[in-house]
Protein backbone atom coordinates (compact mmCIF):
# COMPACT_ATOMS: atom_id res chain seq x y z
CA UNK A 1 0.00 0.00 0.00
CA UNK A 2 1.52 3.31 -1.00
CA UNK A 3 -0.19 6.29 0.53
CA UNK A 4 0.77 9.75 -0.58
CA UNK A 5 3.62 10.95 1.59
CA UNK A 6 4.29 14.38 2.96
CA UNK A 7 7.38 16.26 1.85
CA UNK A 8 8.63 19.52 3.22
CA UNK A 9 11.87 21.40 2.99
CA UNK A 10 13.26 23.33 5.91
CA UNK A 11 16.27 25.62 5.84
CA UNK A 12 18.29 25.87 9.03
CA UNK A 13 20.82 28.60 9.72
CA UNK A 14 22.78 26.92 12.51
CA UNK A 15 23.43 23.59 14.20
CA UNK A 16 21.05 24.67 16.97
CA UNK A 17 18.23 25.07 14.46
CA UNK A 18 18.90 21.61 13.02
CA UNK A 19 18.87 20.25 16.58
CA UNK A 20 15.42 21.86 16.99
CA UNK A 21 14.14 20.20 13.81
CA UNK A 22 15.35 16.93 15.30
CA UNK A 23 13.44 17.65 18.50
CA UNK A 24 10.32 18.28 16.44
CA UNK A 25 10.67 14.89 14.79
CA UNK A 26 11.51 13.16 18.07
CA UNK A 27 8.41 14.58 19.76
CA UNK A 28 6.14 12.88 17.25
CA UNK A 29 7.50 9.36 17.53
CA UNK A 30 5.40 6.64 19.09
CA UNK A 31 7.42 3.53 18.21
CA UNK A 32 7.89 1.37 15.14
CA UNK A 33 9.21 4.21 13.00
CA UNK A 34 12.34 3.99 10.92
CA UNK A 35 14.19 7.26 10.32
CA UNK A 36 16.60 7.40 7.39
CA UNK A 37 19.19 10.18 7.35
CA UNK A 38 21.15 10.90 4.19
CA UNK A 39 23.55 13.65 3.15
CA UNK A 40 27.25 14.38 2.78
CA UNK A 41 29.94 14.43 5.44
CA UNK A 42 29.19 17.23 7.88
CA UNK A 43 25.69 17.82 6.52
CA UNK A 44 24.26 17.60 10.04
CA UNK A 45 22.91 14.05 10.29
CA UNK A 46 24.38 13.51 13.76
CA UNK A 47 23.16 16.90 14.98
CA UNK A 48 19.65 16.01 13.82
CA UNK A 49 19.93 12.57 15.42
CA UNK A 50 20.96 14.19 18.70
CA UNK A 51 17.89 16.45 18.60
CA UNK A 52 15.65 13.45 18.04
CA UNK A 53 17.26 11.70 21.01
CA UNK A 54 16.86 14.74 23.26
CA UNK A 55 13.14 14.87 22.51
CA UNK A 56 12.92 11.21 23.44
CA UNK A 57 14.34 12.03 26.85
CA UNK A 58 17.82 10.66 26.18
CA UNK A 59 20.27 12.70 28.24
CA UNK A 60 23.40 10.62 27.79
CA UNK A 61 23.92 10.90 24.06
CA UNK A 62 26.82 8.71 22.98
CA UNK A 63 27.47 10.29 19.60
CA UNK A 64 27.68 8.29 16.42
CA UNK A 65 28.19 4.55 16.75
CA UNK A 66 31.58 3.53 15.40
CA UNK A 67 33.14 0.55 17.15
CA UNK A 68 29.82 -0.58 18.63
CA UNK A 69 28.02 -0.11 15.25
CA UNK A 70 24.65 0.14 17.00
CA UNK A 71 23.79 2.27 20.02
CA UNK A 72 20.68 1.24 21.90
CA UNK A 73 18.98 3.65 24.33
CA UNK A 74 16.39 2.46 26.79
CA UNK A 75 14.00 5.34 26.19
CA UNK A 76 10.29 4.70 25.59
CA UNK A 77 10.14 3.80 22.75
CA UNK A 78 13.71 2.54 22.71
CA UNK A 79 16.04 4.26 20.25
CA UNK A 80 18.39 2.28 18.02
CA UNK A 81 21.04 4.53 16.43
CA UNK A 82 23.05 3.13 13.54
CA UNK A 83 25.74 4.71 11.33
CA UNK A 84 26.41 2.84 8.09
CA UNK A 85 29.24 5.10 6.88
CA UNK A 86 32.00 2.52 7.27
CA UNK A 87 29.94 -0.48 6.26
CA UNK A 88 29.43 -2.24 2.97
CA UNK A 89 25.90 -3.28 2.02
CA UNK A 90 26.48 -6.91 3.12
CA UNK A 91 27.97 -5.76 6.43
CA UNK A 92 24.96 -3.55 7.03
CA UNK A 93 22.66 -6.49 6.40
CA UNK A 94 24.65 -8.55 8.91
CA UNK A 95 23.72 -6.09 11.66
CA UNK A 96 20.39 -7.88 11.96
CA UNK A 97 18.28 -4.76 12.30
CA UNK A 98 15.16 -6.91 11.85
CA UNK A 99 15.45 -7.62 15.57
CA UNK A 100 14.81 -3.93 16.29
CA UNK A 101 12.06 -3.39 13.74
CA UNK A 102 9.27 -3.66 16.31
CA UNK A 103 6.63 -1.24 17.64
CA UNK A 104 8.50 -0.67 20.91
CA UNK A 105 11.57 0.69 19.12
CA UNK A 106 12.59 3.44 16.73
CA UNK A 107 15.44 2.80 14.30
CA UNK A 108 17.52 5.83 13.32
CA UNK A 109 20.06 5.29 10.53
CA UNK A 110 22.81 7.68 9.37
CA UNK A 111 24.12 7.09 5.83
CA UNK A 112 20.93 5.15 5.12
CA UNK A 113 21.69 5.23 1.37
CA UNK A 114 24.47 2.69 2.00
CA UNK A 115 21.85 -0.04 2.41
CA UNK A 116 18.61 1.48 1.15
CA UNK A 117 17.20 -1.71 -0.30
CA UNK A 118 17.77 -3.67 2.88
CA UNK A 119 16.33 -0.87 5.04
CA UNK A 120 13.26 -0.60 2.83
CA UNK A 121 12.42 -4.21 3.63
CA UNK A 122 12.30 -3.71 7.39
CA UNK A 123 8.79 -3.63 8.83
CA UNK A 124 7.78 -0.28 10.33
CA UNK A 125 4.74 1.79 11.13
CA UNK A 126 6.16 4.83 9.37
CA UNK A 127 9.22 5.80 7.41
CA UNK A 128 10.73 9.25 7.82
CA UNK A 129 13.49 10.22 5.43
CA UNK A 130 15.55 13.34 6.00
CA UNK A 131 17.98 14.37 3.26
CA UNK A 132 20.39 17.05 4.49
CA UNK A 133 22.34 19.24 2.10
CA UNK A 134 24.93 21.95 2.63
CA UNK A 135 23.95 25.49 1.71
CA UNK A 136 26.06 28.64 1.90
CA UNK A 137 27.90 29.11 5.20
CA UNK A 138 26.16 27.35 8.04
CA UNK A 139 22.89 26.89 6.21
CA UNK A 140 21.49 23.44 5.55
CA UNK A 141 18.49 22.32 3.53
CA UNK A 142 16.54 19.54 5.18
CA UNK A 143 14.04 17.69 3.01
CA UNK A 144 11.75 15.61 5.17
CA UNK A 145 9.64 12.94 3.51
CA UNK A 146 7.21 10.87 5.52
CA UNK A 147 4.77 8.21 4.57
CA UNK A 148 1.52 8.29 6.39
CA UNK A 149 0.56 4.66 6.37
CA UNK A 150 2.00 1.20 6.78
CA UNK A 151 4.11 0.18 3.84
CA UNK A 152 4.66 -3.10 2.20
CA UNK A 153 8.04 -4.70 1.76
CA UNK A 154 10.32 -3.09 -0.74
CA UNK A 155 8.70 0.33 -0.73
CA UNK A 156 10.95 3.21 0.19
CA UNK A 157 9.95 6.53 1.57
Residues at the interface with ligand ATP (CB under 6 A): 12, 14-15, 17-18, 39, 41-47, 64, 85, 110, 138-140
Going by their DSSP bridges, the two strands 6-12 and 126-134 should be labelled as: unpaired
Rounded to whole angstroms, how far apart are CA atoms 133 and 18?
Answer: 12
Please check whether residue 55 is in contact with residue 88, taking contact to mean a CB–CB distance below 8 angstroms. no
* Among 14, 64, 116, 143, contact with Mg ion (rule: CB under 5 A): 64
Q: DSSP secondary-structure letter at 85? A: T
Shortest reach from residue 8's CB to ligand ATP, in Å: 16
| Nearest distance, CB of residue 1 and ligand ATP, angstroms | 32
Residues numbered 4 to 63 that lie near Mg ion (CB under 5 A) are 45-46
Q: Toward ligand ATP, which CB reaches closer, 45 or 81?
A: 45
Neighbouring CB atoms inside 10 A of 88's CB total 11
Amino acid sequence: MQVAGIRRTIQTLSAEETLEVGRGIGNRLSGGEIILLTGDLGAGKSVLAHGIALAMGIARWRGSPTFALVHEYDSLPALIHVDLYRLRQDEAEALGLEEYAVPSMVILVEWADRASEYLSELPRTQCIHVELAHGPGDTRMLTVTTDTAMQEEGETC
